[in-house]
């Protein structure tokens, strides 16, 4: 059975869907939910699911290296096989990603390689794109750049606001991330493109 540590910074809706998916014949189980933000709403949600939690406040450290050393030490204490970034908003350095090479996943709310970084939905709308979506990728030293393991697409509709699109994409994130994690935990790194959800009136 693989052990999965989930890193969050905020509400943790992706964390909840990942944790809820790791049951039955799933090849993995959550072993830790950690956050750089001690006030993250996702922490009490994880505790309510009976998952061990930890807060490593990045503001309490003099620099990124010191924060990452503390995060690394806390992760080692839980001995995860896989680290799943789920709305974790700290950029990890190459030193850190090298220590966990090939074992870190991230969900990003765009169709990578388009729109790495922030404000992905506003940029897709601004560009007049017809589609948006989300991607699960392996984490490497380059931000939002590692091998893509899965994607899901949604239409951008006339008059869409950033919030409209974010809500539509989040639904796909909650489908895609558990599906990719299950494959990854079974050592299947083949790319998964989720079929669009067909709305039935």
Give the catalytic positions in this structure.
108
Q: Which residues of 112-136 are buried (b: 16+ CB within 10 A; e: fewer)?
A: beebeeeebbebbbeeebeebbbbb
Q: Is 86 in the site for ligand GRF (CB under 6 A)?
A: yes
Least distance between ligand GRF and beta carbon 48 (Å): 15
Residues 6+ apart with CB under 8 A from 86: 6, 7, 8, 12, 14, 15, 18, 42, 107, 177
Asked if 14 touches ligand GRF (CB under 6 A), the answer is: yes
Q: If we measure between CA atoms, which residue out of 173, 152, 158 comes closest to residue 107? A: 173
109 touches ligand GRF by CB under 6 A: yes
Which range binds ligand GRF by CB under 6 A, 7-15, 31-39, 61-69, 179-187?
7-15
141-180: contacts with ligand GRF (CB under 6 A): 170, 173
Smallest gap from Cβ 111 to ligand GRF, in A, equals 12
Using CA atoms, how far apart are residues 16 and 19, in angstroms rounded to an integer?
A: 5
Residues 29, 3 contacting (CB under 8 angstroms): yes
Of residues 164, 174, 163, 166, the one with CA closest to residue 197: 174
Stretch that binds ligand GRF, among 11-19, 31-39, 64-72, 152-160 (CB under 6 A): 11-19
13 binds ligand GRF (CB under 6 A): yes
Q: Taking CA 10 as the corner, what is the angle to CA 176 and CA 87, rounded to the nearest 5 degrees?
A: 35
Q: Which is nearer to ligand GRF, 66 or 163 (CB)?
A: 163
Task: Compute the least distance from the CB of residue 62 to ligand GRF, in Å.
Answer: 26
Instruction: Choose which of 107, 112, 156, 165 interacts with ligand GRF (CB under 6 A).
Output: 107
Do β-strands 131-138 and 104-108 pair in parallel, antiparallel, or remain unpaired? Answer: antiparallel
Candidate residues 5, 12, 54, 104; the one interacting with ligand GRF per rule CB under 6 A: 12
| Contact residues: ligand GRF, CB under 6 A | 8, 10-15, 86-87, 107-109, 134, 170, 173
């Amino acid at each position: 059975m693989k052990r999965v540590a989930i890193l969050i910074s905020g509400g943790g809706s992706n964390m909840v869907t990942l944790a809820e998916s790791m049951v039955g014949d799933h090849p993995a189980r959550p072993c830790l939910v950690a956050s750089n933000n001690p006030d993250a709403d996702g922490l009490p949600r994880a505790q309510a699911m009976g998952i061990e939690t930890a807060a490593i406040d990045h503001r309490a450290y003099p620099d990124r290296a010191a924060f990452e050393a503390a995060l690394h030490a806390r992760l080692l204490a839980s001995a995860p096989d896989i680290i799943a970034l789920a709305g974790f908003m700290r950029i990890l350095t190459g030193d850190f990603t090298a220590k966990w090479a090939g074992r870190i996943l991230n969900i990003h709310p765009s169709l990578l390689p388009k729109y790495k970084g922030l404000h992905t939905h506003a940029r897709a709308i601004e560009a007049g794109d017809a589609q948006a979506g989300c991607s699960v990728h392996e984490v490497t030293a380059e931000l939002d750049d590692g091998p893509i393991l899965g994607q899901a697409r949604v239409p951008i509709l006339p008059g869409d606001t950033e919030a409209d699109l974010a809500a539509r994409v989040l639904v796909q994130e909650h489908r895609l991330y558990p599906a990719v994690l299950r494959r990854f935990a079974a050592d299947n790194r083949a790319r998964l493109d989720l079929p669009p959800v067909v709305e039935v009136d």
